[in-house]
A = this chain, B = another copy of it.
């Protein structure tokens, strides 16, 4: 049983207004492939992004930020220890943070180990991933092809609930319909568009957006649902005018910036 929520439910619009009003600093560790799009997504909802793994800057930024996201694909350039340090700094400063377990379950042991450490030592406020990643993180059997999921979001919901209860984090699974759960409630977010899976980093942007929506102090379940609903709405609108995947990426940013009124 799940509730369905979508734009323009006030549950969503007010959470976006809180981001735009506060214009929080949001700090992320992610990889270079998606960093530009992720930063532009954060800017398009009126927040202020900083990204990157300079060891001297990680602690000050994770402490100063209103929200932090850590995408395990950051390990393309950053060491596991740096990611641990960022999570620790956020945890100790009481900064809400989001884990995006990209590559977990893809056969790269160092990713799996790091994710397990982070869940145990510095539990995140929210976790978002595709079905394969959430299933693998919850200890289920799933396979992925590189960074792409081979399971459906519906299949992942039961394990997402287990993961939420075990970690205390809100857990989101993205797919044709996204599902967000705190371990008890499950909220379905419809919408989006299949082209989101054909733009590199579009899924990863959800980690950044959830961090932005958490920053003003919004209830974690609501912040996570709202971030997904805003991107789903922007993607749906973008698909109406885009000719293909290239203009779609630009149009998603357009529609986000129009929804937030920046």
The chain A residues found within 8 Å of chain B, CB to CB, are 25, 27, 31-37, 39-40, 43-44, 48-54, 56-57, 60-61, 64-65, 73, 75-77, 103, 106-111, 145-148, 195, 197-201, 242-258, 262
Contacts and interface: CB of A to CB of B under 8 A. Distances in A.
Contacts of A27: 146
A146 B25 contact: yes
A245 B40 contact: yes
Contacts of A44: 198, 244-246
8 contacts: A33-B39, A40-B200, A43-B197, A50-B146, A57-B110, A65-B146, A244-B251, A247-B254
Stoichiometry, as copies per complex, reads 3
Contacts of A148: 48
Nearest to A25: B146
A48 B146 contact: yes
Given A32-B32, A146-B50, A246-B252, A107 B60 contact: yes
Given A39-B33, A43-B198, A103-B57, A77 B77 contact: yes
A242 B247 CA distance: 11
Contact of A146 (B35, B61, B75): B61
